[in-house]
Structure 1
Amino acid sequence: MKNCTIFFAIVGLLLAGCSGTTVVLVPDATGKVGKVSVTTKAGQQVLSQSGASTFAGKADKIPTQVKVLDSTKIQNMFGTVLANEPAPPLHYSIYFQFGSAELLPESKPLLIKIFKSIEERKSCDTSIIGHSDRVGDNNTNKGISLARAESVANILKSIGLAGNCLDVRYYGENDPVVATADEVAEPKNRRVEIEVR
């Protein structure tokens, strides 16, 4: 009889081919605890507090009653997994002058910090996503958001980041951080978001 015990930080699911699955809910990197529903054909258990666990042995049986494990028990069961858990992504926002790909002066020093964080992680998985506000038509704004993303990518490459480690995308005015009416200038929407994984 094969028993697969797995650890889930936020999400739980049942694995095919295992005689059962243990699901344990733990906080994410920020300390927030979500909620997980472990469901079989016979019923479900909902985990909603840190350390809550259940075992789903067979599809035709309801998962076991929820019990809360202390941190020592979780560490004993899943210490190796926890030690190898990847770091959560880092998120940065770089801001721009109105209607252009010219960085705001206060955004320039942040690019060095971003480059250093990429180096420290030894990451080759960075997304650069350009955005605009809603002044002008969407086609023009898509072009501006692309120019902003490419500008940031070029600066990071000039510092020493390999181009094949970058995923450059742009959304124009379609993904505002601050919702506005059309033709409203919003400085927080004139940005490039950088995610380092």
Structure 2
Amino acid sequence: MRPNHPWQKTMIAFLLLVLASGCASHSPRPETPPSKTGETPEVIIRLIRDPVRTRPQHQMVLLPNAEGRTGRLIVRTSGGTQTMDRPYLATEITSPDAAPSPPAEMSPETVQRIFGAALSALPDSAVHILLYFQGTSSVLIPESTEMIPKIISVIEQRRSSDIGIAGHADRTGSESVNLKLSRERAESVRRLLTDAGIPSEHLDVHFFGDKLPLIPTPNRVSEPRNRRVEVIIR
């Protein structure tokens, strides 16, 4: 990572906000694979010697996501390593051979003063809403049926034209049965949204059978939290 511009600090803050929100890593090579349990994987950032800038300075701040959570950020140079695992911890690197400074808390006001322009340019983070289904059917449970007006309201407020619908099943049935059921669930939610006036071309439907459970279980085990559709409003 070798920013050669005056706005390098702003870009670093932008990247770490993305990392804290659980998006794709911008590090050259993550040293841990993505977690299969939903836990945010740690991210390692390396500073490479830049022959043009003899004294680069990078300031990195770990920002929380919308739920107030962060992952873990490891900042490593040839001079040492620092780990940040709490919101608003910050570290600086003054040269490729110098160790990152000990993490220190940066107030939200200071973050806004230094990085406000970059943060205000970020798009709104996606809204994720889970809908759950009855047994081995594509019928929503009553509590999830009541969520449909909220989904419509969020789509309209955000003027979203990019809505993902992802269908899932638990492992009660066979693989082929679960795949078919996850598709039926996704299609049922798609119909609810189009019937409410959401253009079908704004909807992106996928289905995954039992391959992406929220709660891992053995075969033939019923798990209500895996009988779901996730609606992602971007």
Q: Same fold (TM over 0.5)?
A: yes
Structure 1 Cα separation of the partners of residues 116 and 174 of structure 2: 53
| Aligned residue in 2 for 1:82 | 119
Q: Give the deviation of 1:40 after TM superposition.
A: 1.9
Q: Is the aligned partner of 1:72 residue 2:109?
A: yes
Q: Give the deviation of 1:14 after TM superposition.
A: 6.3
Match of 1:5, SS?
Answer: helix
RMSD, aligned CA: 2.7
Structure 2 Cα separation of the partners of residues 145 and 14 of structure 1: 41
Q: 2:202 aligns with which of 165, 188, 195?
A: 165
Give the ranges of 4+ consecutive aligned residues of structure 1 lying more than 4 Å apart after TM superposition.
11-18
Q: 2:80 aligns with which of 43, 53, 68?
A: 43
**Which sections of structure 1, spanning at least 5 residues, go unmatched?**
none
Q: 2:222 aligns with which of 181, 185, 189?
A: 185
Q: Is the aligned partner of 1:135 residue 2:172?
A: yes
Match of 1:78, SS?
Answer: helix
Q: One-letter code of the match for 1:160?
A: G
Deviates more, 1:20-29 or 1:134-143: 20-29
Is the contact made by 1:15 and 1:21 (CA closer than 8 Å) also made in structure 2?
A: no
Percent of residue pairs bearing the same amino acid type: 34
TM-score (norm 1): 0.82
| Aligned residue in 2 for 1:22 | 59
Match of 2:192, SS?
Answer: helix
Is the contact made by 2:172 and 2:221 (CA closer than 8 Å) also made in structure 1?
A: yes
Deviates more, 1:23-32 or 1:10-19: 10-19
**Which sections of structure 2, spanning at least 5 residues, go unmatched?**
21-42
Matches within 5 A, 1:146-165: 146-165=183-202
Structure 2 Cα separation of the partners of residues 175 and 34 of structure 1: 21
Distance 1:91 1:51, change over 3 A: closer
Q: Give the deviation of 1:13 after TM superposition.
A: 4.4
Q: One-letter code of the match for 1:139?
A: S
Deviates more, 1:124-133 or 1:79-88: 79-88
Q: Give the deviation of 1:169 after TM superposition.
A: 1.3
Give the structure with higher Rg (CA).
Answer: 1
